[in-house]
Structure 1
């Protein structure tokens, strides 16, 4: 450079040096400022060796149209085309359900393609979908608001064919509208990949719905054969879940109601509400929360009803897309109730907890998708709810069988206990009969001896009749003595007969039995209810409302439920022990004492024996005395009848008490 500059004038040398130094800088500026023709960042590239391609949010652009009036020409105009934003800078859900969203996809085919490519939109709840091909042909207009016949491919998701040209980048537009927060998730697939995908997907879904159908038929048959209402509630729960799944995956719209888009929208909005109701309806009875958690069960019902009201408001008016939050609180409360019931000894509750672990995990994945977080979104997480529900259905069916088996085992144990008690009672009765036979033998022996003595004395009198004249005085004395002896004998005979009668009556009525011996005959409340139920329905069962004669066991111990009108009557209803405020075994013993003492048993003594308040004993003794009076006036009254006839007295019930008894049996 110095050699060249040395031959130039000073001013030209300065300019030449300036140009020499600034030329690289100017070239760099020109290169930076010159327009560079680069491919768009959202271009999707496919080639012959590729079979499917997930449409990543960074590969498409989104334009929100709040007015919903823009056309394809409008969005292609430079003013609106510049407003398209990459999908990865926006949520993957429609945050404003009232707006229209334009999606722009740029697809480039490298080399010649041997198969056709298709675009599949995963969300089947888009109300309106307009697909504009790149070749300018007529757009495809479909959506969940239109019949299935508007789709070129009768598939549960939205499927569009992409006519691609080799080595050309073609731009496709989709106009989407929805009343809920639906997603933009989609995938590009070839024909062969679609065929394999259809075969696998429909095979798995067919197996899934087949399992649900088997469980519905199986539990429905059990309900028809056994009559246990829990099976019917479980069938309703499984059917509502099936309805939810069919509305979510689009199979219901594809196969069951393809020409009824209004019905499809109604089922989509109403099936989650029905699911919440049937789930709480089934879970509360399966866990017996009304008996095991009486203070917690009303809160569950109240929260469920409030959540249902919130879901209705969101489905009818708000359409916010956040209705799934209304499920969390009642679901957590029921899950906590299952944990509490399991802690309190119900072994089948552990199956309920186990069955809903996978459901809870799948619900977490669903909430993440609803929030637009697609980090864990894949085929396994999308269909995890189906797999979780299959596990839940199988486990809950087994748990339901375990519960019924437990009830059956408890019934068998109770029957065995009752048989033992009846055997013991029979042994006591046999001992009493033996004692009575022994007393009768003693009585006969004594009568024979007395007859012998009388005969012997008569013979002596006959022998002395010859000397009656000579021994008149002695005979008078002898006659007086004989009269005294006869009176004593007659008195002894009368006392003996009275004592024998008292022994017989005491043995029949068990008058000498104390509370300890009485407790051996009726050891607990269950034994008393068993005896009272057998006594009450000794001549057969007949419903008080409809007269039907067939029944099944009610929820309360030893109650009976009419199989025709479902009217439930407890063992104590319409008896003397209705609305009794102290233990039933003490009530039995009180009736026994008052009856065997013919009403002459003071309330003070009754209070001491039963360890109860005197006022309570006095009120109950008055009730028993009134029942005894009514029994004596009955045409079939027998002096030697047992005290248990008093237990069935229901004549003293006031009309309002009878109504209360009927209402109590209905609630049971």
Structure 2
């Protein structure tokens, strides 16, 4: 037979409104067995006529296969003017249903040779997927028994995989197995909600859970599959950029959880459905790229995800209203999941075998690689030490590096009984330069001075450091006082030759430096601080004497 439909965008029309003869032209013929309006606030009215051609009472069943419809009002209008109303929907407790079945069933009863008219009002926050089908009782239960057997096998496979991989996790302590169990459990819960089994068996007296658990379980599945993909494919190793993308999917899953717990069902489910499409595509691309880049255990993963991802994409598209809702689109993801988890379980075993073989190879190569690896670590540590000991502005050594190096060289010179020299340099009138030209120009000035100092110091044992603010320190190992004064004078002259304009200088109108020098052979009874103090006193004397000069320590 056929039926007609009308979309009530206001949601306010009553049976009297839509059943009036003047309203009949508003109904449209449904040209396909199913209607899919996606997520909508409209109420949908269906109208059809059914007759009983035999002289005795005949009973039929009207099924709505999508069990997440919130409220269905089935109005029966008989030829003698009687009206009957039956209410279905997943917002009612399960025991309130006329027939105890996971789908939404309405019994239709006809007297002999009677023609009834039916008006059905449907409203829901879930996806408006309508597929009304009339069955004889025998035909329906024959089909239902077969489908329930298939679903039982499906859930049995999922449960078996959950238990099997949970056992492997406790045996091997590999987090990948635990995440796999979490993902499969979330998917199982989602499909039980989607097909009405959760309402029937898990919370028959709590219908509101369906509107929460559907987007919530889907969100948990999004997070679980993203984490599983990262761990199983080792994305940080093979595809670091895509690994960060998967981190983003995990964040999206977290947002979806918040929406599932706080927002309207339609908002949460639309967000989750869209996220499922993105998730499926992203994980499929990740698997393909890892496979192409030589990840040996990405092959089975990718094949499994192609099947499951295709099914989930069809399901999400049908939920969003872009493709028709039918038995295939509703169950493709379920069957794809069953096939996928078997393949993924095989992939986990394959990965374990590959890793075991790799460990054996690594064990044989370990002795040859230890030296190279140690060198790499030493280089990395050296680089880290260099970065941690460098002043960011001038790229000279920082104060911590200066203190460590001075203490090290002090002890060495005590043992070798050689002269150790220290130069303290201060930029003349630098505060006035900063105030006049600004801090950015001041930073540039310090950078140029530091580069000049680095160019002058040629020996690898010499160290130039930023001592603080506009003050620099130079450690010159195995250098006499005379040699240190020569180096200091060269640095002073080179900086003066830079001819950096300093209009705020009260003496030279150019950037200059003052240098204090100290040098002697350290003894075990002395501390490095004594050398610093001596150079600092010389620097103070240079500033008091007019600046732009080099002064050794007082005799």
> TM-score, length-normalised on structure 1?
0.53
Q: Distance in 2 between the 1:259 and 1:317 partners?
A: 21
Supply the distance in 1 between the matched residues of 2:329 and 2:210 (Cα, whole angstroms): 25
SS at match of 1:116: strand
Where do 4+ consecutive residues of structure 1 move more than 6 Å? Answer: none
Q: 1:70 to 1:390 in 2, by over 3 A?
A: same
Once the two structures are superposed, the pairs formed by residues 624-643 of structure 1 within 5 Å of their partners are none
1:302-381 mapped onto 2 (5 Å cutoff): 302-306=248-252, 309=255, 313=259, 316-317=263-264, 319=266, 322-323=270-271, 324-367=273-316, 369-370=318-319, 372=321, 378-381=326-329
What whole-Å deviation, never above 9, does each CA across 1:162-216 have from its counterpart, x for those lacking one? 1124443311121111013321212111111122112111111111001101100
Aligned partner of 2:361 in structure 1 is 413
Quote the residue 1:201 is aligned against: 147
RMSD across aligned C-alpha pairs, in angstroms? 3.4
What is the CA–CA distance in structure 1 between the aligned matches of 2:143 and 2:126, rounded to whole Å? 27
| Partners of 1:93 and 1:183 within 8 A in 2 | yes
Q: Sort the Cα spacing of 1:581 and 1:61 in 2 relative to 1 into closer, same or farther, 3 A.
A: same
Residues 1:525 and 2:373 are matched in the alignment: yes
The 1-side partners of 2:87 and 2:223 are apart by: 37
Which of residues 388, 392, 409 is equivalent to 2:336? Answer: 388
In the alignment, structure 1 residue 238 sits paired with structure 2 residue 184: yes
Q: Return the alpha-carbon distance in structure 1 between the equivalents of residues 335 and 244 of structure 2.
A: 32
- Counterpart Cα distance in 1 of 2:74 and 2:226: 42
Deviation per CA, 1:45-89: give whole Å up to 9, x if none: xxxxxxxxxxxxxx1122333343333233222343442222239
What is the alpha-carbon distance in structure 2 between the residues aligned to residue 354 and residue 374 of structure 1? 24
Q: Give the Cα–Cα distance (whole angstroms) in 2 for the partners of residues 107 and 374 of structure 1.
A: 29
> What SS is found at the alignment partner of 1:62?
strand
The 3-state SS of whatever aligns with 1:319 is helix
Picking from 158, 171, 175, the partner of 2:104 is 158
Equivalenced residue count is: 387
Deviations 1:556-603 (A, max 9, x none): xxxxxxxxxxxxxxxx8xxx9983449xxxxxxxxxxxxxxxx99xxx
Work out whether 1:280 is the aligned partner of 2:226: yes
Q: 2:167 aligns with which of 200, 208, 221?
A: 221
* Structure 1 match to 2:387: none
Q: Name the structure 2 match of 1:579.
A: 381
CA distance in 2, matches of 1:244, 1:202: 17
Distance change in 2, residues 1:208/1:80 (3 Å): same
CA distance in 1, matches of 2:370, 2:234: 29
How far is the alpha carbon of 1:244 from its aligned partner?
Answer: 1.0
Q: Secondary structure at the match of 2:381?
A: coil
* 1:490-505 superposed matches below 5 A: none
CA distance in 2, matches of 1:153, 1:521: 71
Q: Structure 2 vs 1, CA of residues 337 and 113 (structure 1 numbering), >3 Å: closer, same or farther?
A: farther
In structure 1, C-alpha distance between the alignment counterparts of 2:291 and 2:333, rounded to whole Å: 25
Question: How far is 1:308 from its partner?
Answer: 5.0
Distance 1:191 1:281 in 2: 46
Confirm or deny: 8 A CA contact 1:307 1:327 kept in the other structure. Answer: no
Kindly report which structure 2 residues correspond to 1:371-520, keeping only aligned pairs within 5 A, or say none.
372=321, 378-418=326-366, 421=367
Q: 1:208 to 1:115 in 2, by over 3 A?
A: farther
State the match for 2:242 in structure 1.
Answer: 296
Counterpart secondary structure, 2:130:
coil
2:126 equivalent to 1:126? no
| Contact 1:304–1:330 (Cα < 8 Å) also in 2 | no
Task: Give the conservation status (yes or no) of the 8 Å contact 1:273–1:312.
Answer: no
Tell me the alpha carbon deviations over residues 525-557 of structure 1, each in whole angstroms, 9 at most, x when there is no partner: 28x89xxxxxxxxxxxxxxxxxxxxxxxxxxxx
Aligned twin of 1:496: none
CA contact (8 A) 2:34 2:326 kept: no
Matched ranges for 1:529-540 at <5 A: none
Q: What is the CA-CA distance between 1:222 and the residue it aligns to?
A: 0.6
The aligned residue for residue 624 of structure 1 is none
State which drifts further: 342-351 or 332-341. 332-341
Q: CA offsets, 1:123-181, max 9 Å, x none?
A: 11111111223343542223111111110111111101111244433111211110133
Q: 1:93 to 1:288 in 2, by over 3 A?
A: same
Residue range with higher mean Cα deviation, 170-179 or 71-80: 71-80
Contact 1:105 1:172 survives alignment (8 Å)? yes
SS in 1 for 2:6: strand
Residue 183 in 1 paired to residue 129 in 2? yes
Checking the alignment, whether the CA contact within 8 Å between 1:307 and 1:330 is kept in structure 2 is no
Instruction: Write out per-residue CA displacement over residues 457-493 of structure 1, whole angstroms, 9 at most, x where no aligned residue.
Output: xxxxxxxxxxxxxxxxxxxxxxxxxxxxxxxxxxxxx
Higher deviation after alignment, 310-319 or 202-211: 310-319
The separation in 2 between residues aligned to 1:230 and 1:521, in whole angstroms, is: 28
Segments of structure 1 that go 5 or more residues without pairing to the other structure are: 1-43, 45-58, 422-519, 530-571, 583-598, 601-613, 619-668
8 Å Cα contact 1:91-1:372 kept in structure 2: no
Distance 1:267 1:132, change over 3 A: same
Question: Higher strand share goes to which structure?
Answer: 2
- Per-residue CA distance 1:286-344 (angstroms, 9 max, x = gap): 11011222233213312442465368558815825643222223322222121121122
8 Å contact kept, 2:52–2:58: no
Give me the whole-angstrom Cα distance separating, in 2, the residues matched to 1:522 and 1:170.
Answer: 86
8 Å CA contact 2:33–2:132 kept in 1: the answer is: no
Structure 1 or 2, whichever has the larger Rg, is 1
Deviations, residues 3-39 of structure 1 (Å, cap 9, x unaligned):
xxxxxxxxxxxxxxxxxxxxxxxxxxxxxxxxxxxxx
Q: 1:145 aligns with which of 91, 95, 99?
A: 91
Whose relative contact order is higher, 1 or 2, with alpha carbons under 8 Å and at least 6 apart? 2
